[in-house]
């Protein structure tokens, strides 16, 4: 359990750091780095959670801000995948912008198509996972990770369901 609590403290610190980001820091190198660190700690939390029962895990989280965000052990994996897809989407979108801003040749056209497909695929996976999570859980996830940009809002992802 100490390892579980240590990872929760680490997550709490990263949440504070994410909360300190300004709106203009959205998808910046600093934001991406914090999300990657958050994902890494979630992976460590997932490993630590293997040693406890679901009831013990829930009891550990009960009086923390993570009780609603990561209320079950299964949600750790969901959050890991969502962050992975967000980072993948950002990386592909950034490469698309770089290609569009540079000289355009035949190879660039092929790379552009592949990267656009990759970005769309990542966004589709985020939409599928968000839909499975439900609006309330997804909105908590987006708020904690500083995904306040309109493209990550519930209505933009899954519509008015």
Encode pLDDT of 124-149 as tens digits. 999 999 998 899 999 999 989 988 88
pLDDT score at 8 = 92
When comparing pLDDT for 104 and 99, which is higher? 99
pLDDT score at 82 = 94
pLDDT score at 160 = 55
Reported as a single tens digit per residue, the pLDDT across 65-91 is 898 899 899 999 999 999 999 999 999
pLDDT score at 81 = 94
pLDDT score at 6 = 92
When comparing pLDDT for 106 and 112, which is higher? 112
Greatest Cα pair distance in the chain: 58
Joined together, the tokens standing for residue 87 give 């980072």
DSSP state of 71: -
Would the CA dihedral through 154, 35, 84, 45 be positive or negative? negative
* Enclosing domain of residue 29: 2-158
pLDDT average, residue stretch 37-64: 94
Q: From CA 58, how far away is CA 147, in angstroms rounded?
A: 26
pLDDT score at 2 = 64
Structural domains in the chain (count): 1
pTM of the model: 0.84
């Amino acid at each position: 359990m100490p390892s579980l609590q240590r990872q929760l403290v680490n997550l709490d610190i990263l949440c504070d750091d994410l909360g300190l980001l300004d709106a203009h820091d959205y998808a910046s190198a600093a934001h991406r780095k914090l999300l990657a660190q958050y994902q890494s700690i979630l992976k460590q939390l997932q490993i630590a959670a293997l040693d406890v029962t679901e009831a013990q895990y829930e009891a550990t989280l009960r009086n923390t801000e993570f009780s609603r965000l990561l209320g079950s052990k299964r949600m750790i994996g969901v959050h890991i995948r969502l962050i992975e897809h967000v980072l993948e989407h950002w990386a592909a979108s950034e490469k698309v912008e770089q290609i569009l801003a540079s000289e355009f040749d035949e190879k660039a056209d092929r790379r552009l198509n592949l990267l656009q497909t990759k970005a769309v695929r990542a966004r589709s996976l985020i939409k599928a996972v968000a839909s499975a999570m439900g609006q309330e859980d997804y909105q908590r996830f987006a708020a904690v990770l500083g995904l306040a940009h309109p493209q990550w809002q519930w209505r933009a992802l899954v519509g008015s369901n």
